[in-house]
Amino acid sequence: MTGTLFDDRYLIDRLIARGGMGNIYKAHDTKRGQIVAVKMLRSEFDDDAVVLKRFLREAHAVQNLHHPNICQLYDIGCTREKIHYFTMEFLEGDPLDKILRDKRMLPPETALQYIMDIAAALCDAHNHNIVHRDLKPANIFIVHDADGKETAKLLDFGVAKLQEELSDPGQKLTNAGSTLGTPFYMAPEQIQGFEVDGRADVYSLAIILWECLFGAPPFLGKNIIEIFSAAVHQKLPKMTRAYRASRKWRSIYAVLDKALKKEPKNRYDSMQSFLRALEQVRSEITPGTANHDATKTSSLPLIAIIHNISPLKLVLFGSIAILVIGAIISTIYLMIPKQVEIPQTQSGSYKFFSDVPADILIDDKYLGTTPYRAELYNVPPFKITFEGKDEYEKTNFVFDVDNYPEGVAGYAVNFKGSQAVRSMIFAETTPEGADIYVNDHLYPLKTPCQIAVSTSKSVKLTFKLKDYLDENITVKTHGGELRLHTNLYPQ
């Protein structure tokens, strides 16, 4: 359609997006004299009354909403050829799902600002008795203005419903027991086909905030059944002790924990209440406020103590301290062996994981088939190769081992990749509750949890749990999912 004059008014520039019901084009509105986005119902739905009603419902739902954080609707129309469409403001920026694919996690201040923008938009929608029901990162657009300021805008009310329609069985567009939405972000009551209200949007928006902060939604699975089961039954993953020591993260987690309760009655009672809680957290963590992380300490008490000691006593204490420290250093030096030889018979503990059975070769010699664990006496450097079997027989992953492992070394691969820019790792340990380090950086959540990683290079995951050996697992993926379950070794 590029270059055509649509409905004698809109000069089509290019296709910018494909949705579930329609295609969206950038166009010049010759009547308004401005650039707009034109969403057209696809031709295959011309005779589908249900889809047409849903398409028009999105237009009419947004028509009366005039909020700076909602993509504004201009006109609704139908051409002589019976092509239904509506026009919206054209936005310059990126959808949130693309930003998360590129950055994986966002700073708390940025994530909170995005979510507060959308919460404010939803307050307006809820005040008009409209429940969105399909919140997800793809429906949030981050707009950049000329000054570099970012604003989040809410899109796509195609699954939205008026509150009176939700409570009137005669007005239902979907069949009883059916669900509409995106699995990762759906509230438990929506998954189970129960009636929903604004608290379902609170839940979904909190899931998006969780993904912005931790890199993945809290409840995942290999298929839609597992995802739904996790959302309905699983507990929220816990933060690590180091993160719990931070007042900032405790405050954020407390808000998320309340917003993600399984029962709607236990969540924030409205989007307005959720927004106020987010604003309170943001005010606590904004630089320059009186609140600080609990992990930071002050040096003023020590300075005061030193100030109150007389100069003579200070010199005496200092001399004694120097003598004691010197004696300790001398003792330690004498205890250190002057030369350490690593015996060539040293062994290392290794574990091997993959999403489908694969042969493991050490310097091209067969060792076993995944999942596999072994004590190896091979002296580094040596090469580990994962060879695919059956339909993956031409796919290999190779790791170069240059040093003896510290603790337990592991290697993991996934053959069933999707060529996506991110892979999802389901990290589980027995026992549960291990801290996770991703490329030596502490991850906010304990096991079991999900971790989104880049597919462009290998990733090192380190599992640490008191009274158990550390495990360092190097992962190579090319998209898709990998379930990593390891039994930790006692010390």
Catalogue the active-site residues.
134
The type of residue at 130 is I
The rounded distance, in Å, linking the Cα atoms of 2 and 25 is 9
Terminal-to-terminal C-alpha distance of the chain: 67
E strand or H helix at 223: none
407 Ramachandran zone, left/alpha/beta (phi>0; psi -120 to 50): left
What are the structure tokens assigned to 462, written together? 């380190």
Q: Across 63-125, where does the E strand assignment appear? A: 73-78, 84-89, 93-95
* Helix/strand/coil percent split, the chain, to 5: 35, 30, 40
What are the structure tokens assigned to 409, written together? 């070394």
Looking from the CA of 473 toward its CB, the CA atoms found within 13 Å total 30
What does DSSP say about strands 358-362 and 382-388: parallel, antiparallel, or unpaired? antiparallel
The rounded distance, in Å, linking the Cα atoms of 288 and 281 is 14
Q: What is the DSSP string of 86-114?
A: EEEE---EEEHHHHHHHHSS--HHHHHHH
What are the structure tokens assigned to 125, written together? 């929608």
The rounded distance, in Å, linking the Cα atoms of 483 and 368 is 20
CB 247 within 8 A of CB 294: yes
478 burial via Cβ count (<10 Å: 0-12, 13-18, 19+) = middle
Output DSSP code: residue 444: S
The rounded distance, in Å, linking the Cα atoms of 402 and 197 is 57
- At 166 the three-state DSSP class reads helix
- Give the torsion through C-alpha atoms of 449, 455, 460, 462, to 10 deg: 0
Looking from the CA of 345 toward its CB, the CA atoms found within 13 Å total 0
The rounded distance, in Å, linking the Cα atoms of 132 and 161 is 7
What does DSSP say about strands 408-413 and 471-476: parallel, antiparallel, or unpaired? parallel
The rounded distance, in Å, linking the Cα atoms of 213 and 96 is 13
